[in-house]
Amino acid sequence: MKIMKRISYNVKELSFENANLHRNGETLTIELPYSGAYGMGEKYDRLNQKGKTVINQVTEKFCFQGDKTYCAVPFFWTDTGFGLYVDTCSVTAFQFLDNCIQVTLPETADVVLFSGTPEQIIREYMALFGPAVLPPEWTMGIWISANRWNCQKDVEETLAKLKKYDFPADVMVLEAWSDEATFYIWNGAKYMPVPDGKPLKYEDFDFSGTPWPDPAQMIRQIHDNGLKLLLWQVPVYKKQGDEEIQNVQNDLDRKDAALRKLCVTMPGGTPYTIPKGNWFPESMVPDFTNPQTLQCWFGKRQYLLDIGVDGFKTDGGEFIHSDDSRFYDGTTGKEGVNRYARDYTESYRDFVGSNGVIFSRAGFSGQHTVPCHWAGDQQSQNAELASVLKAGLSAAATGMIFWGFDLAGFAGPLPSLDLYRRATQMACFCPIMQWHSEPDGGQFRELMPGAEGNNERSPWNMAESYSAPGFMEEMRYWHKLHEKLRPYLWKTAQECVRNSKPFMRPLVYEWPNDMNAINCEDAYLLGDDLLVAPLLQENAVSREVYLPEGTWSDFFDGTQYTGGQRIIAGKNGKLPVFARNGFEL
């Protein structure tokens, strides 16, 4: 039986199911028996947070996230049937001790208590924010991206290579498409600058002689090849560096935003700017709680939808670093530090509508209403693969449904063939399968050089870079397998949205009374019917897998197994995957 109870800030003592709660000032102590605590947003360090102190603060962290996260959520549940959500956007702290959990609360915050199975608790938590949103079916396909694609010719060549090498793809993401100032004008396009927040239209641009001679025709070509197109976005009125050619339209937009207070402000009404030392330093930040901001910001981007753009990669959003900053709706930076990412992504979700999609890095509570998400920035190192799996499972334990990652990492030198192989296999069995790479040479060359020359993480570039032509055929198998899985993925997607269930499920989600499941952080259920155990160790071709109760069959050769045992699995270079309920492709 499930129970949900909202308690106010003033409650001092309370017994709830198998837990006793005591409030002393800003500290809420929950005494309860438990072996595992799960959720808390996208956590890269551990799935089970017992023994950890968790600070719920949305933070931009380039690679090796550790205990930092782009998506923080003050919600957890335990294996013993207790769950808790702190109804606040302010920063909170959770200490998961041996026999109790201590929560440091802001000055005023209601607490919502849950009791039941993990499935029931997650469902009730999700209900606090409204129903999950189902993205279009094509999001279940294969996503391709490379920051080095900075002209229409690159797009055309990539489409040609997909055909030449016989690789399926369904979504193309372009990052280096814009002027890198306004983030709504194609790079090199000529136009008459428009003051006073008025939108530009496609007809206002002259694309001749630019890297993008005909964006509308290019988008038609992408669609004719069976792909959808997403464009990169960042929510800033950018402060351009002295070495950059000053963009006249960007300067006009900044002046207009400051004059009409379309941006986040400080107490005296001056614009808030991102502090130095952070991404996009000294840039102003659009205030998505202001209706005028929404009208102006998206008015400038409407022409992109009009020419066929299918959505946006909504990067960034971890931009509020001052408690004193002010928003149009009366809130301050104390709430905005976490809430801004949600306001930003929800605004873009509403803009693209149900036929489009956004692909976000940052978020906060209730992100199941804003699909889809990826795990942010990772280097092409083996340790990052294990951490990103934990992130995906903890995100799922927090009710996030549609998730993926940059397979084998996007930053630094090219991954080894071994890492790329194992990451591709794991990505094949995720809701979103994507490869992506940073600019040639890396974006932080002085700190972490990337691959010289072609840094692209495409299967064909990997094969060419390592002089391994057979590798392309091997990778083609996994891409085509993901396409074969699409009917199952789409069916599961609809069921997850309808029943408020995560897509990738840690084993404890279904078996909270099984200590082997409680302690498992490296395997998961993909929907109801598949158990996936990625190969996380370097050069691994097999691994130990715990099969919970039930009857399981090897996904690849049909060998039958009885649950409740550990086995060594992995055959013919394939990661261990097991099916139940008679599932077959």
Q: Which residues are catalytic?
A: 315, 318, 377
Burial of 288 from C-beta contacts in 10 A (0-12 / 13-18 / 19+): buried
Return the SS3 of 221. helix
Q: Are 426 and 534 in contact (CB under 8 A)?
A: yes
Burial of 105 from C-beta contacts in 10 A (0-12 / 13-18 / 19+): buried
Strands, E assignment, 436-503: none
Measured CA to CA in angstroms, residue 408 lies from 342, 562, 578, 579 at distances of 27, 33, 23, 25
Q: Are 31 and 16 in contact (CB under 8 A)?
A: no
Q: Are 340 and 370 in contact (CB under 8 A)?
A: no
- The DSSP element (H or E) to which 87 belongs, if any, is strand 82-87
The rounded distance, in Å, linking the Cα atoms of 419 and 549 is 31
265 is written with which tokens? 């402000």
For residue 91, count other CB atoms closer than 10 A to its CB.
18
Strands, E assignment, 338-469: 357-360, 373-374, 403-406, 432-435
Give the helix ranges, DSSP H, for 266-327.
291-299, 302-306
Report DSSP state, residue 504.
E
